[in-house]
Amino acid sequence: DVKVTQSSRYLVKRTGEKVFLECVQDMDHENMFWYRQDPGLGLRLIYFSYDVKMKEKGDIPEGYSVSREKKERFSLILESASTNQTSMYLCAIGGGYEQYFGPGTRLTVT
């Protein structure tokens, strides 16, 4: 069974805080992805990584950064959280023919 875990299911942070969302996989996949999902806007790609220390911007990278120091772990960083970053954040792993999602982190920024 594919196992993708995310550090928190629910998170509440204040505006201006630095926020770390962590994703861990046990499948030894090279590729890891961060998406956010919002009502009416759907799932949108923020960043992805295809190897340790490698990263690529997705469709909406503004306000975010990522870190991948180890193959199994991919972190999404909100440098200074804002209310418009309130969303469901989903990590995924996989290759060209499959992507599997973690359970998601619902982040609320107040």
Partner 1 sequence: QKEVEQNSGPLSVPEGAIASLNCTYSDRGSQSFFWYRQYSGKSPELIMFIYSNGDKEDGRFTAQLNKASQYVSLLIRDSQPSDSATYLCAVNVYSGGGADGLTFGKGTHLIIQP
Note whether 52 binds partner 1 by CB under 8 A. Answer: no
Judge whether 66 and 34 are in contact, CB under 8 Å: yes
Note whether 16 binds partner 1 by CB under 8 A. Answer: no
Q: Residues 78-107: x/- map of binding to partner 1 (CB under 8 A)? A: ------------x-x-xxxxxxxxxxx---
CA dihedral over 110, 106, 86, 57, signed as positive or negative? positive
**Binding region for partner 1 (CB under 8 A) out of 15-23, 49-57, 67-75, 77-85:** 49-57
- In the complex, the smallest distance separating the C-beta of residue 16 from partner 1, rounded to whole angstroms, is 28
CA dihedral over 92, 93, 94, 98, signed as positive or negative? negative
Q: Give the span between the Cα atoms of 3 and 35, in whole angstroms.
A: 17
Q: Give the span between the Cα atoms of 24 and 42, in whole angstroms.
A: 23
Nearer to partner 1 among residue 34 and residue 78 (C-beta): 34
Q: Give the span between the Cα atoms of 55 and 47, in whole angstroms.
A: 7
| Residue in 13, 44, 71, 73 binding partner 1, rule: CB under 8 A | 44
- Binding residues for partner 1 (CB under 8 A): 30-31, 33, 35, 40-45, 48, 50-51, 54, 56, 58-59, 90, 92, 94-104
